[in-house]
Chain A
């Protein structure tokens, strides 16, 4: 069971680092889309070992961070309906919405429970037949199939009190939106590993083809990231742009057909709101008409009130890759992991949290 230490071997890392240093001649800015990659990059100090030619910027790939306040407020409003139980992954609890957080209303007595999987939420619905259980569907293409599976299972078992608030987001459309906005110029994209295990490599082709940006799908261990950067550098130096898979042990070009089928069966693309980016057409998922009875949005009347954004917080700019946490006047002062102002400091995959916890920026 040596599947982790093998990907953290220092002698292999040294070889890759030295290869990158020798082959990189052209200055290049690479974006790691995914928050999981951001964490690995900071946890292993990867920016420190790369040559100065290479700049890494973090992208919007943290599902919690990109959840807009308007949607968060909806979840909080749902939890305040008497009898309703909100089932959610733990990180969501602490994210401040316009007026409160799930954690605060939980302390005040609202029905909020932390789950580790959609199946836990479904079980909660079975165990509490008299109460509506709403799963907060937050996440990318990686989580959407499991949510779809839970809905199909609820249907099969005749569970009538299970609902999903679908705030799912799709990665390729938002990258197109970022590139079209033209705020950040990229010479390479570290494509998300887990998302690609589901969707495969084909959905990234347009970035290499239409925008001429090299793409490499990476795993999450330090050696994965180094190998990915090495492959990006190689494309840059050769003047190529194509989609390559560095994460071969997880990703097939066609993706996971079973998972895609589940997603397709239950959900259809819809517009979605992204924090800092705004509404992006086709970048969300809503439940198909056939599964309307599981759709929390369609079955509960929600009046969350006007949206208030945290004053001074620049999470939006950070998520677009145009600013870094150390540009934020709140970072490390009023905004810390103990008392976060914005979601990028709350989520363990958020850029601010990674900067703060691993000592980049202000505390360097």
Chain B
């Protein structure tokens, strides 16, 4: 019989100790975690970015990733969107009894690989096991800290008329990949989640320009909601061109079938940057050299009016408003 997580694994006793040692400390090997003190202790100096997030995606394994990779990438990306270089993460696992140990190990291994790629260390953590039905297989809560380089001032309220809007790649891959696995829908080719750590891409961008005004990863609510947030925070209008927004045929096809608009589908490895016109070309150029920015493209620009609105020029040359997402399009995609 396959080894399963039992309630006793969360009890604080011997089983719990073994689980932490074998499944977490060994895999995520780093000196700060290995000390197993109540807190991770480290020195930092400079401006700190600090973020937290929780991951409840269903299913926990999906094409192109799993909840472990998602937790690391999501947290790293939240730090990166402040212009910070991500450093340390915490991970807390809430496990439903009955999850197989093999699956847990696979997820921790994904955490290890994603953290390795992102250049961050998991320095503290926690494990709780709850009775069957009290959680759905596995939830992960994270926190993360990173350092913001001097001269970097990135915020959602800094978009100015004349700025260019850059998107780092095709939209909707993550939401549709998770949906396809959950609903057992196949779209001809296996579409993979775009889930990826973007710290490196942001570092490359900051290397060529410290003048980036806004950075945001269009996760839940998709590109449309992110652009609306930025337009509203900065009290400006964002004008985008439908023909310039990259969407894969598989995503378009799935959206047609399910009645969704790709603009509202979640991404986990994409970013939107709003940058001064004069720096746009060099930022775009450096993005295209990074593997997570290969498809980067300018999708529009910032205008003064109508403030707080996103307006899209359609492929027919007409204009329409792109509104915030209302309600729940795809529950539990992250």
Q: State the A residues within 8 Å of B (CB).
A: 1-5, 8-10, 13-14, 17, 42-49, 94, 116, 222, 226, 337-338, 348, 356-359, 363
Cα-based distance from A358 to B319 in the complex (angstroms): 9
Q: Which of B249, B261, B316, B317 contacts A5 (CB 8 A)?
A: B249
Contact between A363 and B326, CB atoms less than 8 A apart:
no
Q: Would A10 and B259 be within 8 Å (CB), given that A1-B253, A2-B249, A357-B323 are in contact?
A: no
Residues in A with CB closer than 8 Å to B188 are 1
Cα-based distance from A359 to B323 in the complex (angstroms): 8
Shortest CB distance A86–B (Å): 19
Chain B 114-149 near chain A by CB (<8 Å), digits 1 or 0:
000000000000000000000000000000000000
Residues in B with CB closer than 8 Å to A13 are 315-317
Chain B 260-275 near chain A by CB (<8 Å), digits 1 or 0:
0100000000000000
Q: Would A44 and B316 be within 8 Å (CB), given that A3-B253, A4-B252, A337-B326 are in contact?
A: yes
Residues in A with CB closer than 8 Å to B250 are 1
Residues in B with CB closer than 8 Å to A338 are 326-327
Residues in B with CB closer than 8 Å to A1 are 188-189, 249-250, 253
Q: Which of A4, A10, A46 contacts B253 (CB 8 A)?
A: A4
Question: Which single residue of chain B is at the shortest CB-CB distance from A9?
Answer: B315
Chain B 289-331 near chain A by CB (<8 Å), digits 1 or 0:
0000000000000000000000100111111110100110000
Residues in A with CB closer than 8 Å to B189 are 1
Contact between B327 and A337, CB atoms less than 8 A apart:
yes
A-B contact pairs, 21 of them (CB 8 A): A3-B253, A4-B249, A4-B256, A8-B315, A10-B243, A13-B316, A17-B316, A17-B317, A44-B320, A45-B318, A45-B319, A45-B320, A46-B318, A47-B318, A49-B316, A116-B258, A337-B327, A348-B259, A358-B320, A358-B321, A359-B323
Cα-based distance from A47 to B318 in the complex (angstroms): 9
Q: Which of B183, B253, B259, B321 contacts A357 (CB 8 A)?
A: B321
Cα-based distance from A197 to B201 in the complex (angstroms): 48
Cα-based distance from A287 to B314 in the complex (angstroms): 44
Shortest CB distance B104–A (Å): 28
Shortest CB distance A6–B (Å): 10
**Extra A-B contacts (16), CB below 8 Å, given A10-B316, A44-B320, A338-B326:** A2-B249, A4-B249, A4-B252, A4-B253, A5-B249, A43-B314, A44-B314, A45-B319, A46-B316, A46-B318, A49-B318, A116-B258, A337-B326, A357-B323, A358-B321, A359-B311
Shortest CB distance A354–B (Å): 10
Residues in A with CB closer than 8 Å to B261 are 43
Chain B 189-220 near chain A by CB (<8 Å), digits 1 or 0:
10000000000000000000000000000000
Question: Which single residue of chain A is at the shortest CB-CB distance from B187?
Answer: A1
Contact between B317 and A49, CB atoms less than 8 A apart:
yes
Question: Which single residue of chain B is at the shortest CB-CB distance from A221?
Answer: B256
Cα-based distance from A359 to B224 in the complex (angstroms): 14
Question: Which single residue of chain B is at the shortest CB-CB distance from A120?
Answer: B183
Question: Which single residue of chain A is at the shortest CB-CB distance from B331?
Answer: A114
Cα-based distance from A22 to B253 in the complex (angstroms): 34
Which of B243, B315, B316, B326 has the most A CB atoms < 10 Å from its CB?
B316
Cα-based distance from A348 to B258 in the complex (angstroms): 12
Contact between A48 and B323, CB atoms less than 8 A apart:
no
Residues in A with CB closer than 8 Å to B320 are 42-45, 358-359
Residues in B with CB closer than 8 Å to A48 are 318-319
Contact between B315 and A44, CB atoms less than 8 A apart:
yes
Contact between A44 and B318, CB atoms less than 8 A apart:
yes
Contact between A10 and B315, CB atoms less than 8 A apart:
yes
Cα-based distance from A222 to B253 in the complex (angstroms): 15
Contact between A116 and B253, CB atoms less than 8 A apart:
no
Which 10 pairs of residues, A with B, have the shortest CB-CB distance? A45-B318, A359-B321, A48-B318, A337-B326, A358-B320, A10-B315, A4-B252, A44-B314, A13-B316, A45-B320
Cα-based distance from A49 to B316 in the complex (angstroms): 8
Q: Would A14 and B249 be within 8 Å (CB), given that A1-B188, A116-B183 are in contact?
A: no
Q: Would A222 and B321 be within 8 Å (CB), given that A1-B249, A4-B253, A5-B252 are in contact?
A: no
Shortest CB distance B19–A (Å): 34
Residues in A with CB closer than 8 Å to B314 are 43-45, 222
Cα-based distance from A338 to B323 in the complex (angstroms): 12
Shortest CB distance B239–A (Å): 13
Shortest CB distance A75–B (Å): 20
Residues in B with CB closer than 8 Å to A358 are 320-321, 323
Shortest CB distance A19–B (Å): 14
Contact between A45 and B249, CB atoms less than 8 A apart:
no
Question: Which single residue of chain A is at the shortest CB-CB distance from B255?
Answer: A4
Shortest CB distance B300–A (Å): 16
Q: Would A10 and B252 be within 8 Å (CB), given that A1-B188, A337-B326, A338-B326 are in contact?
A: no
Residues in B with CB closer than 8 Å to A47 are 318
Cα-based distance from A5 to B249 in the complex (angstroms): 8
Residues in B with CB closer than 8 Å to A363 are 321
Cα-based distance from A10 to B319 in the complex (angstroms): 14
Cα-based distance from A1 to B253 in the complex (angstroms): 9
Question: Which single residue of chain A is at the shortest CB-CB distance from B321?
Answer: A359
Cα-based distance from A265 to B250 in the complex (angstroms): 36
Q: Which of A3, A222, A359 contacts B315 (CB 8 A)?
A: A222
Shortest CB distance A229–B (Å): 12
Contact between B316 and A45, CB atoms less than 8 A apart:
yes
Shortest CB distance A336–B (Å): 8
Question: Which single residue of chain B is at the shortest CB-CB distance from A117?
Answer: B183
Residues in A with CB closer than 8 Å to B311 are 359
Which of B249, B250, B253, B315 has the most A CB atoms < 10 Å from its CB?
B315
Q: Which of B183, B316, B326 contacts A222 (CB 8 A)?
A: B316
